[in-house]
Amino acid sequence: MKFQVIGASRDTGARMTLEFEAESKAAAERKAAQQGMEVRSVREITDTGPVSTPDRPVRQKSGSSGLVRLVIFVGVLLVAAYVFRGPLMHLIGK
């Protein structure tokens, strides 16, 4: 499993975020400690998609975008039919 470990450097106190492949949270925490980190939190992460951060949130797709496109397309067709109704009626023969 993949884990994200957040903490601070023992030497400088700078904030650190590391990602590890490990068997458990405890194993990920031990790996981070070996890298010289004071561990604050450990969380399991998955590779299912982009990660949202406070400065760069991930946009969620709405399910209505296809419906909006369809409504716009039909509207354009109706406007075109209205504008060209004279020539269209002449072609039909009425």
pLDDT range class, residue 62, cuts 50, 70, 90: low
Mean pLDDT for 8-35 is 91
Residues 39 and 58 sit within 8 Å (Cβ to Cβ):
no
Alpha-carbon radius of gyration of the chain: 29
Length of the chain equals 94
pLDDT range class, residue 49, cuts 50, 70, 90: low
Q: Within a 10 A sphere around the Cβ of 60, how many other Cβ atoms?
A: 7
Closest among 1, 9, 2 to 32, alpha carbons compared: 9
How many helices (H) and strands (E) the chain has is answered by 3, 3
Is residue 4 over pLDDT 80?
A: yes
Name all contacts of 27-33 with Cβ < 8 Å and 24+ positions apart. Answer: 28/3, 29/5, 31/5, 32/5, 32/7
